[in-house]
Chains A and B, each alone.
Chain A
Amino acid sequence: DAKTTQPNSMESNEEEPVHLPCNHSTISGTDYIHWYRQLPSQGPEYVIHGLTSNVNNRMASLAIAEDRKSSTLILHRATLRDAAVYYCILTRNSGYALNFGKGTSLLVTP
C-alpha cells in the first residue's frame, strides 16, 4: 500500500487559514486521497476526499498536486473547534479499510 507522510504537529492562530500538507510519492493512479480528523475524545470524522482535481466542501478544500504526489488540506479560517488530529489516507478503488497513520496534530490558539 502506498504510504503517506505528514508533519507530526502544526500550530495555527484562530481565524487564520491553515494548510496541512501530505506527501504520497508512491501513490498509484487508482488511489483516492481521503482526509479524516479526530477531535479529542471522539471517533474520527470524514473531512474530504479527491482523486485528481481540487475539491471543496463546507468543511475544507483539498488541493492535489498535478503529479498527485502530494496534497494539501486547507482550512480557510481555523477555529478552536478545528483542533484535532488530521489524517491523510490513501485508499485503492478496490480497498475498503482506512489505514490511519500518525496524522498531524493541529493546535489552534486564540
Chain B
Amino acid sequence: DSGVTQTPKHLITATGQRVTLRCSPRSGDLSVYWYQQSLDQGLQFLIHYYNGEERAKGNILERFSAQQFPDLHSELNLSSLELGDSALYFCASSAQGTSYNEQFFGPGTRLTVL
C-alpha cells in the first residue's frame, strides 16, 4: 500500500459525458502528478501540482483539467469524453516538487467510455 488513494476504482460512462477522478496523496506530500496509461500510448504524464499550484503540463488534452485543493487532494476532470479516453488514470505523490524525489503511485482509476 503506497498511501495514495484514488476513487473511484472503476468508472463506466458514455461518450460526451464528464467525469471527475479523485486522488488523495500520502500524508505530508505536497506534489501530486497525474498519468494516463493506455494500450497504444503507454504511461504518459498529464499534469503536476505542487502545494495547490500547477507546476508542469504534459500531454494533457484541453478537454481535461485538474486542480489541487488546500487539503492537498487533487481532482482530474475529463469532459466531452471520447472512446479513446478509455484508460487507466494514475495519481502519484511525492514529498517535494523535484523529480529526484520518489513518486508513490495510487492503484489507479480504470475509465471505460462506451
Is the pair A44, B43 in contact by a Cβ cutoff of 8 Å?
Answer: yes
Q: Which residue of A lies closest to B44 (CB)?
A: A100
Interface residues of B in 74-114 (CB under 8 A from A): 90, 92, 97-100, 102-108
Q: How many A-B residue pairs have CB under 8 A?
A: 68
What's the minimum C-beta distance from B66 to chain A, rounded to whole angstroms? Answer: 13
Chain A residues closer than 8 Å to B102, beta-carbon distance: 46, 49
- Interface size on A, as a range, is 20 to 34
Chain A residues closer than 8 Å to B103, beta-carbon distance: 36, 44, 46, 98
| B17 located at the interface, meaning its Cβ lies under 8 Å from any Cβ of chain A in the complex | no
Chain A residues closer than 8 Å to B44, beta-carbon distance: 100
The A contact surface, by secondary structure, is loop
Encoded as 1 (CB less than 8 Å from any A CB) or 0, chain B from 19 to 50 comes to 00000000000010101000000111100101
Chain A residues closer than 8 Å to B104, beta-carbon distance: 45-46
Is the pair A97, B106 in contact by a Cβ cutoff of 8 Å?
Answer: no
Is the pair A43, B105 in contact by a Cβ cutoff of 8 Å?
Answer: yes
What's the minimum C-beta distance from A90 to chain B, rounded to whole angstroms? Answer: 9
What's the minimum C-beta distance from B7 to chain A, rounded to whole angstroms? Answer: 14
In the complex, besides A98-B99, A100-B42, 7 extra interface pairs with C-beta distance below 8 angstroms are: A32-B99, A43-B90, A45-B104, A46-B104, A95-B98, A96-B56, A97-B58
Please list the residues of chain A having a beta carbon within 8 angstroms of any beta carbon in chain B.
32, 34, 36, 38, 42-46, 49, 87, 91-102
- Return 26 A-B CB contacts under 8 Å, by A number: A32-B100, A34-B100, A36-B103, A42-B107, A43-B2, A43-B4, A43-B92, A43-B107, A44-B103, A44-B105, A46-B104, A49-B100, A91-B100, A93-B98, A93-B99, A94-B98, A95-B99, A96-B31, A96-B48, A96-B56, A96-B99, A97-B58, A97-B99, A98-B92, A100-B45, A101-B42
